[in-house]
């Protein structure tokens, strides 16, 4: 795709600037205040200025986001990381030549810095009366539509930098995301947790049921897996004697991509010795309330056309009660597959005659229960078959001490009293191995080292996992996980942008470059 007229015009301006001895990419800026500091400063001083400009000069810097040329006067807004400020370039104060230079060479998206005096325009906007202006960085590409911005979702994800520079809502999402994560760390740090880092590349994957990404480690001559979970490592640390550990990390699951799933996603897991799943439930509620307060300042969050109230306490009901309520089926009574299958079919669930009992149950949960759980709700006490790492309930060994948190119809968190009996753990692994042999690709492999760790003794422990991306979806009212991930996974475009060839004629503009280089293959990984 050849360069367009706007790109060519800007490149020619770079040529002319270089010819005039002006570096379009100088190494340093000299700003003295941010735009928001400048405005605060002026508002503070204004009462003492008697309508005159602030005599103390300041220097601001930023991206040029608007230019209004009035002839002998030019108005322009520059935006930096804190806000925006209007430049007022007047011939009498900036000078004839510099004004003409600005009009000739400065375009939207360029970075500039301006010296001048703060004042208020006749229309009431705090601005800077510019005495000198310098180019900090020349932009070759123009911005998208100034009124509609960039709306094409594919481009917004592929070129997130353009999305961020044009759409303030996008910038806000990732600001909130950072605050959520900061709040989570603060909550845990203040309660004596140790933040740890465990392997991303694992020789045996575990801790969840999912297909892993596989890679090859040449130095070790061995296949490795990108972690699908850090659970088994964190529990080894509990065995080692730490009482409270947590990790916030990327997990990788080689499965479908949709509105709620990205193949790499951010997970919080924490483990607390001498706690059980009820203690964890309390902490979960407290943690999310804390994060929402810190990031949003409120517990009332809009969710599509609905509204979610995070005010605790949140309802807690057993999985049995929930499924009974929405389907009329009591899974503790209907324990055989044929009957459960028949009942599920009556309700219209998408199950097949060979669907195993726990899967039918999961289908009921997904189809009939989950969509109704808009307000935060804990479901607890799950069948053992669904939870190979959770401890059985002493009063009913068919169930495990496990809960999940649902909000806005999203599965947000998953937790249990950790299974610390090495023999039972081995039994569960063997069950998984059996399912695996039957073709369940997502059943967990046996991790004997983990059994060995449990044989050294693990205290009663409560564990917790939270999907950070989904929590951010909830708190920013986004229905798609891609909206809360800076660079979501997309299929590569088959053809490169072609810039290597298009920009070639301009390479003489690089200072000191004589020799011409061959055009590199810009995307070797996309070769068919």
Partner RNA sequence: GGGCCGCUAGCUCAACUGGUAGAGCAGCUGACUCUUAAUCAGCGGGUUGGGGGUUCGAGUCCCUCGCGGCCUACCA
Binding site residues, RNA, CB under 7 A: 4-6, 9, 66-73, 75, 77, 86, 88, 90, 107-108, 119, 121-125, 127, 141-155, 157, 208-210, 253, 255-256, 258-261, 350, 358-359, 362, 366, 386-389, 442, 444, 480, 482, 490-494
CB contact at 8 A, 93 and 129: yes
**Given the structure tokens 């049995």, which residue do they identify?**
320
CB contact at 8 A, 245 and 367: no
Cα separations in angstroms, 506 against 94, 107, 298: 32, 19, 53
> Omega before 373 cis (within 30°)?
no
Between residues 195 and 421, which has the closer beta carbon with respect to RNA? 421
* Closest distance to RNA from the beta carbon of 124 (Å): 6
Q: Within a 10 A sphere around the Cβ of 479, how many other Cβ atoms?
A: 13
Q: Within a 10 A sphere around the Cβ of 142, how many other Cβ atoms?
A: 14
* Closest distance to RNA from the beta carbon of 468 (Å): 16
Between residues 157 and 406, which has the closer beta carbon with respect to RNA? 157
Structure token digits, residue 428: 């569960």
Between residues 146 and 182, which has the closer beta carbon with respect to RNA? 146
Q: Looking at residue 367, what DSSP letter applies? A: I
* Closest distance to RNA from the beta carbon of 263 (Å): 10
Structure token digits, residue 21: 């001895």
* Closest distance to RNA from the beta carbon of 93 (Å): 10
Between residues 58 and 208, which has the closer beta carbon with respect to RNA? 208
Output helix, strand, coil percentages for the chain, rounded to the nearest 5. Answer: 40, 25, 35
The CA-CA-CA angle for residues 259, 411, 384, to 5°, reads 130
Between residues 5 and 336, which has the closer beta carbon with respect to RNA? 5
Between residues 160 and 185, which has the closer beta carbon with respect to RNA? 160
* Closest distance to RNA from the beta carbon of 193 (Å): 23
Question: Closest by alpha carbon to 53, among 71, 38, 35?
Answer: 38
Between residues 150 and 180, which has the closer beta carbon with respect to RNA? 150
* Closest distance to RNA from the beta carbon of 261 (Å): 5
Structure token digits, residue 240: 């080692």
Question: Closest by alpha carbon to 401, among 279, 291, 276?
Answer: 276
* Closest distance to RNA from the beta carbon of 18 (Å): 17
């Amino acid at each position: 795709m050849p360069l367009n007229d706007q790109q060519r015009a800007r490149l020619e301006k770079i040529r002319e600037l270089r010819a005039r001895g002006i570096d379009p990419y100088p190494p340093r800026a000299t700003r003295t205040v941010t735009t928001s500091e400048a405005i605060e400063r002026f508002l503070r001083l204004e009462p003492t200025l008697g309508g005159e400009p602030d005599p103390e000069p300041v220097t601001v810097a930023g991206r040029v986001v608007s230019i209004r040329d009035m002839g002998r006067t030019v108005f322009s807004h520059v935006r930096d990381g804190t806000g925006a400020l209007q430049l007022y370039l007047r011939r009498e104060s900036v000078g004839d030549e510099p004004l003409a230079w600005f009009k000739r060479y400065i375009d939207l998206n360029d970075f500039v810095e301006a010296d001048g005096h703060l004042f208020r325009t006749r229309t009431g906007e705090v601005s800077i009366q510019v005495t000198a202006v310098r180019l900090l960085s020349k932009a070759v590409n123009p911005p998208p539509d100034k009124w509609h911005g960039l709306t094409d979702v594919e481009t917004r994800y592929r070129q997130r930098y353009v999305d961020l520079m044009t759409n303030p809502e996008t910038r806000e999402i990732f600001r909130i995301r950072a605050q959520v994560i900061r709040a989570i760390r603060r909550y845990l740090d203040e309660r004596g947790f140790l933040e740890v880092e465990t392997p991303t590349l694992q020789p045996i994957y575990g801790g969840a049921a999912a297909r892993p990404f596989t890679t090859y480690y040449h130095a070790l001559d061995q296949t490795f897996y990108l972690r699908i979970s850090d659970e088994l490592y964190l529990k080894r640390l509990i065995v080692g004697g730490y009482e409270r550990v947590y990790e916030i990390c990327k997990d990788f699951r080689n499965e479908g991509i949709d509105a709620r799933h990205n193949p790499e996603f951010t997970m919080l897991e924490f483990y607390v010795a001498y706690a059980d799943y009820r203690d964890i439930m309390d902490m979960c509620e407290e943690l999310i309330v804390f994060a929402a307060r810190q990031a949003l300042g409120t517990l009332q969050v809009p969710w599509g056309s609905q509204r979610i109230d995070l005010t605790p306490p949140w309802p807690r009901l057993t999985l049995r009660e929930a499924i009974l309520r929405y389907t009329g089926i009591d899974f503790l009574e209907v324990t055989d597959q044929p009957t459960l299958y028949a009942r599920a079919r009556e309700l219209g669930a998408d199950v097949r005659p060979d669907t195993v009992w726990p899967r039918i149950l999961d289908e009921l949960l997904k189809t009939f229960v989950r969509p109704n759980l808009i307000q935060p709700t804990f479901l607890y006490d799950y069948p053992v078959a669904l939870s190979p790492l959770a401890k059985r309930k002493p009063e009913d060994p068919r169930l495990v001490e496990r809960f999940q948190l649902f909000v806005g119809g999203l599965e947000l968190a998953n937790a249990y009293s950790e299974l610390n009996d090495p023999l039972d753990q081995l039994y569960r692994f063997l069950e998984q191995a059996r399912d695996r042999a039957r073709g369940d690709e997502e059943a967990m492999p046996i991790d004997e080292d983990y059994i060995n760790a449990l044989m050294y003794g693990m205290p009663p422990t409560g564990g917790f996992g939270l999907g950070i991306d989904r929590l951010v979806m909830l708190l920013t009212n986004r229905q798609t996980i891609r909206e809360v991930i800076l660079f979501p996974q997309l299929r590569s475009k088959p053809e490169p942008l072609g810039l290597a060839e298009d920009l070639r004629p301009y390479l003489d503009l690089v200072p000191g470059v004589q020799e011409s280089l061959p055009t590199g293959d810009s995307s070797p990984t996309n070769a068919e």
